[in-house]
Chains A and B, each alone.
Chain A
C-alpha cells in the first residue's frame, strides 16, 4: 500500500536509507482495549472480517468459545476466553482478551524482515505489512514477541492486523472500535488513550481491583494497542499475555551488528587471498618437478632413468 500523507513512513524493513523526517508532526495513535468492559460478543471480529474483506473457514467446536482456535491469515483479531478462579477472592472470573497485533514501538517483526519495505512503521505508530514486497520467509513470525503474524499457505504472504491504517489515513477509527457495543475498544491519540485508561483504572481500583492497570509494555518501547487489565500483575492469566515482552535476544543476535562484521570477514578473506597472490605469487610446478616425476615413473616401470634428464 502506498503511503498516505498522514501515514508518513518512520521505519521500513531491511532498508538502510534514512526516512523523511521534516514533516514529523503526526500524533501517535493508539487503540485502547478495556478488558474489564468486554462481553465477548465478537462484534469486533466480525467487523474486522467485513471491513478487510476476509472470510474465515467454518471451523469445529471443541467446547471452548475461541473461534477460530487461533489467529489465521484471515482472522487478524481473535477473542481469547479464559476461565480463572481468583485465589484471593474465591471468585470465578471470565477473562476475555481481544488478541491481535500490538503495533509495537520497537517491532520485532520489522527488525527480522529481510525484504525491503515488506513491513513499515508509520509516524503515527501503526505497523503495517506491505504484501507486494513480502517474500513469505516467516522471519517476522520469529521476530514477533506476541506470536501475531500468520503466513498464508495460499499466497505465502504474511498477514496481521493493520490497525485499519486505510481508515485511519482518512480520519476514521478502526472497524473493530466502531463495532464494539460496550465501547470496550477505544481509539484516539496515544496520550488521550492513556488518560482514558487512567480514569478506568481509578474506577476499577475503587471497586476492589487493586492491581488494575494499563498494559503498555516498555520492553518493546510501548505499544499502540494497549489493554486495561483488572490484574496487571498477572498478564499471563489473560491467555498467555507476556509479562515483559521483548525482542528475543536470539533475534537481536541474529539481526544485530554481527551481520556487518560477518560481511567484513568475507570481504577480508577475499581481499586477503588477492594480496597473498600478489605478494607470494603463484605456486607453480617447475620443470625439475616434472623431470623428477618422470624419473619416478620410469623407475616404477622398471626402466633405467635416462642420464640426460637426471643431469638437470
Chain B
C-alpha cells in the first residue's frame, strides 16, 4: 500500500535528559567555529580555484596571517574539550560489535545494534581521529608558520611539514564532514549541543546504556 497510516495517541509523555552543561557547549562551538574558519582559510591557499575564499578574510595576506592564529585558538579549545570528553570515548566491546554491524548503522536499523553508552563507535573514531590530526596539524603548522618560526628547522623538514599539513587537513575535513552529517542525519542531536538536553526517546534510541545510567543517577551530566 502506498499510503501509510500513523495513529498518534492524544497524550504523549515527554522526558528530557541533560547531556551537556553550558561550559561544554561553549567549548564545543568555539572549537567548531575555529575549525570552519581554518578550513576556509586553509583551503583558500590549498588550490588556486579556491583562492577567492581569501576575500572572506580581507585578502590573501590577511588570510595567511590569521590562519595560524585561529589554529592556536582551535588547539587550545580542543585541548579543553579533550580533557572533558576523553573518558567517555574509551573503546569497549559494544563498539567492536557496532563497528562490525556498520551496514545496519548506515541503513538506520538501530534496533539490531547493541545498547550503547554515551557515545557510539563512530563518534569515538571521530573523537580520536580529530585529536590525532589536530596534534599533527598544530605541530606541522608551527613549522610552516614562517612569520615567527622561520629558519628553526631545515628546509627539508619545512617541505615535509607543508606536505603533512595539507594531507592532515584533508583527512580532518573528511572526518568533520562525517561528524556534521551525523548530526544532521540523527534528528534531535543538535539540541544536545545547542540547548544542553535531548529527549528521553533520543537517548533510548541511540544511547540506551547511557540513559539507564542517567536514570539511576550515576551519570555526571557531561
Q: Which residues of A come within 8 Å of B, CB atoms?
A: 14-16, 114-116, 133-139, 141-142, 147, 151, 156, 248, 250-251, 253-254, 259-260, 262-263, 265-266, 269-270, 273, 276-277, 280-294, 296-297, 299-300, 308-309, 312
Nearest-neighbour CB distance to chain A for B171, whole angstroms, equals: 9
- Does B61 lie within 8 Å of A254, measured CB to CB? no
For the complex with contacts A114-B45, A134-B61, A285-B201, 11 further pairs of A-B residues with Cβ separation under 8 Å are A114-B48, A250-B160, A251-B159, A263-B50, A277-B184, A283-B185, A288-B201, A292-B204, A293-B15, A293-B199, A294-B13
Closest to B150 in A: A138
Question: In the bound complex, what is the Cα–Cα distance between A141 and B107 (angstroms)?
Answer: 50
* CB-based closest 4 A-B pairs: A293-B200, A290-B201, A300-B215, A289-B201
Q: Is B88 an interface residue (CB 8 A)?
A: no
- Does A265 lie within 8 Å of B146, measured CB to CB? no
Question: In the bound complex, what is the Cα–Cα distance between A147 and B48 (angstroms)?
Answer: 24
Grouping DSSP codes into helix (H, G, I), strand (E, B) and loop, the B interface class, with mixed when no group exceeds half, is helix
Closest to A263 in B: B47
Contacts of B205 on A, CB cut-off 8 Å?
285-286, 289
Closest to B215 in A: A300
Contact of A283 among B45, B108, B212 (CB under 8 A): B108
- Does A248 lie within 8 Å of B156, measured CB to CB? yes
Nearest-neighbour CB distance to chain A for B66, whole angstroms, equals: 11
Count CB-based A-B contacts (< 8 Å).
167
Question: In the bound complex, what is the Cα–Cα distance between A251 and B188 (angstroms)?
Answer: 45
Question: In the bound complex, what is the Cα–Cα distance between A246 and B12 (angstroms)?
Answer: 72
Contacts of A253 on B, CB cut-off 8 Å?
163
Question: In the bound complex, what is the Cα–Cα distance between A273 and B177 (angstroms)?
Answer: 8
For window 47-82 of B, CB contacts with A under 8 Å fall at 47-51, 54, 59-61, 63-65
- Does A285 lie within 8 Å of B63, measured CB to CB? no
Contact of A297 among B49, B178, B200 (CB under 8 A): B200
Contacts of B138 on A, CB cut-off 8 Å?
none
Closest to B60 in A: A135
Q: For B8, B63, B204, which residue has the most chain A Cβ atoms within 10 angstroms?
A: B204
Contacts of B13 on A, CB cut-off 8 Å?
290-291, 294, 309
Contacts of B47 on A, CB cut-off 8 Å?
259-260, 263
Question: In the bound complex, what is the Cα–Cα distance between A292 and B8 (angstroms)?
Answer: 15
- Does B159 lie within 8 Å of A254, measured CB to CB? yes
Nearest-neighbour CB distance to chain B for A274, whole angstroms, equals: 9
Question: In the bound complex, what is the Cα–Cα distance between A270 and B181 (angstroms)?
Answer: 8
Question: In the bound complex, what is the Cα–Cα distance between A210 and B127 (angstroms)?
Answer: 65
- Does A282 lie within 8 Å of B203, measured CB to CB? no
- Does B185 lie within 8 Å of A292, measured CB to CB? no
Nearest-neighbour CB distance to chain A for B11, whole angstroms, equals: 8
Contacts of A266 on B, CB cut-off 8 Å?
170, 173-174, 177
Nearest-neighbour CB distance to chain B for A294, whole angstroms, equals: 4
Q: Is B211 an interface residue (CB 8 A)?
A: yes
Question: In the bound complex, what is the Cα–Cα distance between A14 and B48 (angstroms)?
Answer: 5
- Does A137 lie within 8 Å of B177, measured CB to CB? no
Nearest-neighbour CB distance to chain B for A88, whole angstroms, equals: 32
Question: In the bound complex, what is the Cα–Cα distance between A151 and B215 (angstroms)?
Answer: 61
For window 73-112 of B, CB contacts with A under 8 Å fall at 106-108, 110
- Does A136 lie within 8 Å of B61, measured CB to CB? yes
Closest to A259 in B: B47
- Does B147 lie within 8 Å of A300, measured CB to CB? no
15 of the cross-chain contacts (CB-CB < 8 Å) are: A114-B48, A114-B51, A116-B51, A135-B45, A248-B159, A266-B173, A273-B184, A277-B184, A280-B108, A290-B199, A294-B200, A296-B204, A296-B211, A299-B215, A309-B13
